Amino acid sequence: MEEINLWEEISCGNTVKVTETTCKWTDYNGRTILMAACHNGKLDLTQQILDARVDVNSQTVRGISALMYAVECAQPEIVSLLLRSGANVNIKSKKNLTSLMCAAYFGTSDLVALLLDAKADVNARDKDNMTVLMYAVCCGTFDMVQTLLDAKADVNARDVDNMTALMHAIRFKTIDIVQMLVDADADVFTEDKFNKTALTYARDRGNTEIVRILENSCKSLKSRQLN
């Protein structure tokens, strides 16, 4: 008899019984019944599975956890349930991704706040040294970036290319976020591995408003240094 793929069964909305056998099920990717329930927003099923004492911190072959699946699919109730059940908020994937990075990447501000309340590492880095703040300026919202800055995110951290969150924000032409980072003392003079500054990137992209913000910041900093 062909083995039932619980991931497909749950994704299709079919009823799945929580038994000793189903709780031990994994597919070739290492995905579990708990991950399937979280991925598909099945709160009641998730509770039943957790009541069966499964490993809440089990990971796939890529290092993805049930918490990451719940975050990726914007399931705040399930995220809260997993955290109450002992999910490791700082567990990392094979690429050093964390649940907080996932929340920032997918733009879910409420989940960012929820994970920070659970002591998520605001300055964790992935395999490319990208920080949560960098993910947020690329994919998030004004409020999310502010939340991370309030949580003491390192505004001047550098990735593998020595790029900062400010440089990433300029790439995506997010003027309000650029202003926020400058107000948070982002270094406007630092150079990346290509010998470019934030101002260089702004000029290259022809964004006059961002150029104005950065030039004013440079003038203000130089004036303070002279005094």
Q: Is the pTM of this model over 0.85?
A: yes
Q: Where are the alpha helices (DSSP H) in 85-164?
A: 99-105, 109-117, 132-139, 142-150
Instruction: Tell me the C-alpha distance between 69 and 36, whole Å.
Output: 8
Question: Per-residue pLDDT for 1 more than 70?
Answer: no
SS3 174: coil
DSSP string over 144-171: HHHHHHHTT--TT---TTS--HHHHHHH
The correct answer on CATH 3.30.70.60 for the domain covering 1-88 is no
Instruction: Tell me the C-alpha distance between 173 and 1, whole Å.
Output: 55
The class level of CATH for 122-227 reads mainly alpha
Residue 67: per-residue pLDDT:
98
Q: What is the pLDDT of residues 47-90, one digit of tens each?
A: 999 999 999 999 999 999 999 999 999 999 999 999 999 999 99
The conformation of residue 55, written as its DSSP 8-state character, comes to -
Higher-pLDDT residue of 225 and 88 is 88
The distance from CA 41 to its chain's CA centroid, rounded to whole angstroms, is 19
Q: What is the pLDDT of residues 3-46, one digit of tens each?
A: 679 999 999 988 999 999 999 999 999 999 999 999 999 999 99
The conformation of residue 32, written as its DSSP 8-state character, comes to B
Going from N- to C-terminal start, the domains of the chain cover: 1-88, 122-227
Q: What is the pLDDT of residues 103-133, one digit of tens each?
A: 999 878 899 999 999 999 999 999 999 999 9
Q: What is the pLDDT of residues 161-177, one digit of tens each?
A: 999 999 999 988 789 99
Instruction: Tell me the C-alpha distance between 117 and 163, whole Å.
Output: 28
Is residue 98 within 8 Å of residue 91, measured between CB atoms? Answer: yes
Q: What is the pLDDT of residues 187-218, one digit of tens each?
A: 999 999 999 999 999 999 999 999 999 999 88
Domains 1-88 and 122-227 alike in fold: yes
Residue 104: per-residue pLDDT:
96
